[in-house]
Amino acid sequence: MSFSQRLFTAILPRRWAESMEAESRSWMVRCPCGCERSVWELGGIRWKASGQPRRYMRCPKCGQLAWHSVTRDPAANPPIPSGKYHV
């Protein structure tokens, strides 16, 4: 676990920390060569986020510096609520 992961899981309520970890595990970082890892495995946090950013990094499989796409696996978790709740 990275420093930021330890810090946030220590200060946030347990339910939020579990949600943060589960969602971060559903975000996948993919290299053009086909290698993929979750954001959480890389030591990152991606929680309540949207979009499809890219990261320039070295791939552990092919060893090349390349743009990796970051996408969410829809099968891993249900979509994030829009924030509008009806009582």
How would you write 3-33 as a 3-class SS string?
Answer: HHHHHHHHHCCHHHHHHHHHHHHHEEEECCC
Residue 28 tokens, joined: 């996948």
Inter-residue contact 31 to 61 (CB < 8 Å): yes
Between these two residues, 3 and 79, which has the higher pLDDT value? 3
Q: Tell me, what's the pLDDT at 1?
A: 86
What's the pTM value of the predicted model, to 2 decimals? Answer: 0.76
